[in-house]
Copies of this chain bind each other. A is one copy, B any other.
Amino acid sequence: MKIFQKEIKIKTKGIYDFVKITEKLEEVVKESKIKNGILFANSLHNTAALLIQEDDPTIFEDLKEMFERILPMNSKYHHSYEGNENATAHQKNNLLKSFFTVPIKDGKLVKGTWQDFWVIELFEPRERKVFVTIIGE
C-alpha cells in the first residue's frame, strides 16, 4: 500500500465554466503507478465545486436553471461583499460539494459508461487548485 499526492491547476473562464478533468485524473493515476485503490479529489476553494456527471451540455443548462430557481441572482444576499454571483456561488458549492472519491481498478478509474469528472467554476475566471490523493497498491 502506498500513497501518492499531486496538486493540479485548472484555469477557468468564468461563472459556469464546466471543465472536464477526467483525462487529467487518469494521468495522475498513471503517474502514481497505483493499480488498485481510491482516488480522492479536493477543490481547495469554496466557490469551485467538483462533480461526477455525464458529458452533455444540456445537463449543465438544467443545473444552471435549477440554481436560478433555488438561488435567484436578483435576490438579496447577506454575503454581498463581492456581489450576488459570489454569494450564490458559496451556496451552490455547499450543495455540489468540493470533493469526490473514485475507485481505481487495474490502473484505471472505475466509472460508469456515462460518468465524467468535472470542476465547476461558480464565481469568476480563476486558477483553481484540485488536490489529488491516491491510496492503493
Contacts and interface: CB of A to CB of B under 8 A. Distances in A.
A23 interface: no
B52 A98 contact: yes
**A-side binding surface: helix, strand, loop or mixed?**
mixed
List the number of copies, as a whole number.
3
A112 B44 contact: yes
Contact of A78 (B54, B62, B115): B62
Given A62-B79, A62-B90, A137-B3, A40 B42 contact: no
B94 A3 contact: no
Contact of A62 (B2, B36, B43, B91): B91
A71 interface: yes
Interface in A12-66: 36-38, 40, 42-46, 51-54, 56-59, 61-63, 65-66
